[in-house]
Structure 1
């Protein structure tokens, strides 16, 4: 153990609070660094159990967990509302997506086992035949965020189980209950308990997990600073990271403005803006800028902010009052430098009303960094070239959106935008759980999406037979 870890303070019990009311809903224990090291050793032994599970058993467990999740979907959605602050309608959608993620993982366990290699495709190989298989990596550390407390956990542990791996799961400090619930469902569906170890702890515990010699991969979703720290300390092991975005949406003069407004309002303020692919910078052709802006502000002002348990609520609380205060400070910074706040930005505890700004200088935090809050910038552009330059301005590039009725332009601009995904005639925040998901530039390392995560979490083994 390093001197830093040896000197780490012991973690106190973790108090989990209702994100809207602030009431305490649970107290859970956290591990010390010493206990985390013991957990790593136990999890390493569990790699034998995980790898020995036949593929049909892995698939049955994942399908069984999906069925249990469907049976209990309303109670799980209620937990997400309480613990993560999503509105009840958003929470139900997340449960549906997690069910699909588990089912996709089950299918991957049965489908993606390897293939035959055509050795006779090159001279000298005529007397050989063989194949490659996909084998488990071994022990995987999965570090998950709070904003999709169920589905992003499923996106890590589903493919890991499908690939025959053991997992050390460190959920977000703000949302440990939802992560534990999913693990419990998998165990109830037949997964040996030792295959997934839930580790709750402070940053020193996370550091111990990342540094562990026998960990073969770290899969992390979270902030850039934390990702950089993981990369600096992990050592020689696979890293898969999704480090956030600052998504642009481009609206051209020939776009269906009603569609663009409706999709962009949803894309900007879903999950109180705590969405790594949420629209943050909406760039609109100057000829339709004022019309779009007027309609967008009017639609934003119709959103109901408040109690996430109410069916009518559109925007619930942010993850904490501190996060909401930090987001409000970024609005104030932009206004101080000349931006116009057109609506929203009102703070009440952990609630921040959806904010729309224009005239934001490109040196402001709202333009340069991921905001992760219900805040959006709307700015005009004059031509396609300048729109693409503005869209590509930044070091985070997960997804983007384009609205136009010109197919040639749509494909041309999609090719020019530097991002992991470009949605045409849709907001940036569309994601299918089966598609490859990740960014370019400093936005990510590797890809999620069940098939792609499964391939990251397995390794090939070639068998060649000489006749």
Structure 2
């Protein structure tokens, strides 16, 4: 996930929020300084004992009510996401529906994942003992969220945290603070005490003050590798849960259904203007199918409508900023200068980048080695299964991958060999169910998201043993 261009919306006194398509200022919000961040942290610390004692059914009821409120207001919320994050209206509606599900899943964890009975008598010497472990809250959690899923990724952090009985200091992306605040306001309206979640807005010094605080028990961060490294260096001895992006490969074998593979990969590459940490970035196609796949993929890409995200027919809206779009274009130009072939796209108008397809890309280029986080995809041929696996694994970053083949044995064999947190068979890399474990397999992999798994990261087992 991109680290770039996260401070260009901060002024001395206010955080300016822009319509990502028009560039118009839509809000000016007060920022917190370091002292304000420490005050927010103190509120979270003071509220933690009461949050921990809140009955599980009460936590679940708040989350369920919040899901209902969000559902009732879904269209208005979707339009806010369009304005603030730049997603197309159809994509924004899907994000709202996912966030509703995330809150419902969190409500379930609050009541269903309370602990387990321990079979002490399973080992000699344990006879006569009875007991269990319960899942207890950690205390204060700092959650730092990105702009690309401005609603659902907030839900993924604060939903499990509430379910576990914690308090949260939330620092949302400066690009999308309104959507994050809306989620918090909905939870408070649903009955959550307003000191359980405190929202902090500010620059890197504010973030550093939060993550380095001794009172914090876990930092949950979704964002770029450079920021993740800085957080890890500042955090000290505390739990870290980080989702730091990827560089997703998709392998397409010659026996795959061409139309299905092209359709899925076009969606996987360009969803949310490519600002998707599991988006398909490197498409590896068996040579027997390569030319047909490239031709079909380029044709399908050319049919995509890019522009105003409010239009129902728009497929690709703006990137998070014009500067991010121009930086992505420069990455493409650098690849072309190194010998890559630009098949389609590569142009930028304002903050909208046309969907871009590159072939013949040297593996030294940034578009091969790093997450581009833009509507840019690389297509490369391969000759053998072994070569495809080697190319797929040629990255330090490994969130998810995809494999297309009609051979089940091959699909399972290749899925086992790919180094990634998840492998989607006969689908693009970008499929995610909010209930499944989600995280990386290589550099930067720290913990798992997915509601049940985040809930378990945000709680700790406590053993009770009774000798009868």
Q: Deviations over 1:273-296 (max 9, x none)?
A: 000000000000000000000000
Counterpart in the other structure of 1:400 = 401
Q: How does 1:115-264 map to 2 (within 5 A)?
A: 115-264=116-265
Shift of 1:444: 2.3
Counterpart in the other structure of 1:6 = none
Shift of 1:185: 0.3
Distance 2:11 2:114 in 1: 43
Counterpart in the other structure of 2:358 = 357
Please identify, of 83-92 and 442-451, the stretch whose mean Cα deviation from structure 2 is larger: 442-451
TM-score, normalising length from structure 1?
A: 0.98
Counterpart in the other structure of 2:7 = none
Gap regions ≥5 residues in structure 2: 1-9
Q: Deviations over 1:312-362 (max 9, x none)?
A: 000000000000000000000000000000001111010000000000100
8 Å CA contact 1:245–1:443 kept in 2: the answer is no
Q: CA RMSD in A?
A: 0.9
Counterpart in the other structure of 2:6 = none
| Helix, strand or coil at the partner of 1:77 | helix
| Helix, strand or coil at the partner of 1:56 | helix
Distance 1:280 1:49 in 2: 46
Q: Give the count of matched residue pairs.
A: 459
| Helix, strand or coil at the partner of 1:48 | helix
Shift of 1:10: 9.5
Q: How does 1:380-399 map to 2 (within 5 A)?
A: 380-399=381-400
8 Å CA contact 1:246–1:280 kept in 2: the answer is yes
Counterpart in the other structure of 2:380 = 379
Q: Deviations over 1:374-423 (max 9, x none)?
A: 00000100000000000000110000000000000000000000000000
| Helix, strand or coil at the partner of 1:216 | strand
Counterpart in the other structure of 1:4 = none
Distance verdict in 2 for CA 1:280–1:10, change over 3 Å: closer
8 Å CA contact 1:85–1:308 kept in 2: the answer is yes
Q: Deviations over 1:286-308 (max 9, x none)?
A: 00000000000000000000000
Distance 1:348 1:340 in 2: 21
Counterpart in the other structure of 2:3 = none
TM-score, normalising length from structure 2?
A: 0.97
- Runs of 4+ in structure 1 off by over 2 angstroms are 9-12
Shift of 1:443: 4.2
Distance 2:371 2:444 in 1: 10
8 Å CA contact 1:398–1:443 kept in 2: the answer is no
Counterpart in the other structure of 2:422 = 421
Q: Within the alignment, does 1:14 sit opposite 2:32 as a pair?
A: no
Gap regions ≥5 residues in structure 1: 1-8
Distance 1:394 1:379 in 2: 15
Distance 2:390 2:280 in 1: 17
Distance 1:441 1:328 in 2: 28
Distance 2:428 2:248 in 1: 9
Counterpart in the other structure of 2:90 = 89
| Helix, strand or coil at the partner of 1:360 | coil
Distance 1:241 1:132 in 2: 26
8 Å CA contact 1:80–1:91 kept in 2: the answer is yes
Counterpart in the other structure of 2:442 = 441
Counterpart in the other structure of 1:113 = 114
Counterpart in the other structure of 2:4 = none
| Helix, strand or coil at the partner of 1:444 | coil
Distance 1:12 1:427 in 2: 43
8 Å CA contact 1:11–1:31 kept in 2: the answer is no
